[in-house]
């Protein structure tokens, strides 16, 4: 059994027990989160649309953190213009605890 869930503007294929990283969520560590289901499948039974909206995917927040640093460097040739910038994308690590078909 698996489901396609939507969170943080992205879609993820999840199964029970899977640990994955998503965009930062406003939730405490060790709290339960319910994710929006786009598609759910169990064997040959596939639920989409309104049927999938009745399904539930619950996950537990494992941790919050920041990703690997990305260095951004821009310049304009022959103009002595240089800009250096760094970025670390915040994330939330989730563990899927249950998938129930509606």
| Stretch 9-30: mean pLDDT | 97
Q: Taking 90 as the threshold, does the pLDDT of residue 4 lie above it? A: yes
Q: Taking 80 as the threshold, does the pLDDT of residue 53 lie above it? A: yes
Confidence label for 102 from pLDDT (cuts 50, 70 and 90)? confident
| Sign of the alpha-carbon dihedral angle for 54, 45, 61, 9 | negative
| Domain regions of the chain by residue span | 2-100
Q: Which two tokens stand for residue 27?
A: 């939730």
Choose the weakest-confidence range: 42-51, 74-83, 87-96. 42-51
| Stretch 80-89: mean pLDDT | 97
| Stretch 32-52: mean pLDDT | 94
């Amino acid at each position: 059994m698996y489901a396609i869930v939507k969170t943080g503007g992205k879609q993820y294929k999840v199964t029970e027990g899977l640990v994955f990283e998503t965009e930062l969520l406003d939730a405490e560590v060790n709290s339960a989160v319910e994710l929006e289901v786009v598609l759910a499948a169990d064997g040959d039974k596939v639920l989409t649309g309104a049927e999938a909206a009745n399904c539930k995917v619950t996950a537990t927040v494992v941790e919050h953190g920041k990703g690997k640093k990305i260095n951004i460097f821009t310049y304009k040739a022959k103009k002595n213009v240089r800009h250096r910038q760094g970025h670390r994308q915040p994330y939330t690590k989730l563990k899927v605890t249950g998938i129930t078909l509606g």
